[in-house]
């Protein structure tokens, strides 16, 4: 605060000094509140970053498991298809033998 403002507050006596104290307290509390808000926002950013990293890790794990199941399904499907084709050939060969 400037000297002129302090002199004017002192001219009002105890009430002026109390008003000065309230102004000082308000300014210092506002600075403290700004600092607390900044720290809180930093904590939120850290939590969000950790959550994003965890979510990405989970997503990667899900994709790897899904890819594994897709590969197994394709392999099983190919195996079953081959068995069906083999059985169809055997059946055709039996049918031709029976017709002779």
Q: What is the pLDDT of residues 44-89, one digit of tens each?
A: 999 999 999 999 999 999 999 999 999 999 999 999 999 999 999 9
8-49 pLDDT tens trace: 878 888 888 888 889 999 999 999 999 999 999 999 999 999
| pLDDT > 70: percent of the chain | 99
Whole-prediction pTM? 0.57
Say how far apart CA 99 and CA 8 lie, in whole Å.
124
Helix (H) / strand (E) element for 13: namely none
């Amino acid at each position: 605060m400037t000297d002129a403002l302090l002199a004017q507050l002192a001219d009002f006596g105890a009430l002026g000094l109390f008003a000065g104290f309230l102004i000082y307290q308000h300014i210092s509390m506002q600075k403290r509140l700004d600092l607390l808000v900044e720290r809180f926002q930093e904590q939120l950013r850290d939590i969000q970053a950790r959550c994003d990293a965890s979510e990405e890790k989970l997503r990667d794990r899900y994709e790897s498991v899904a890819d594994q199941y897709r590969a197994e399904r394709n392999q099983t499907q190919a195996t079953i298809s081959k068995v069906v084709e083999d059985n169809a050939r055997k059946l055709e060969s039996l049918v031709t033998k029976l017709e002779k």
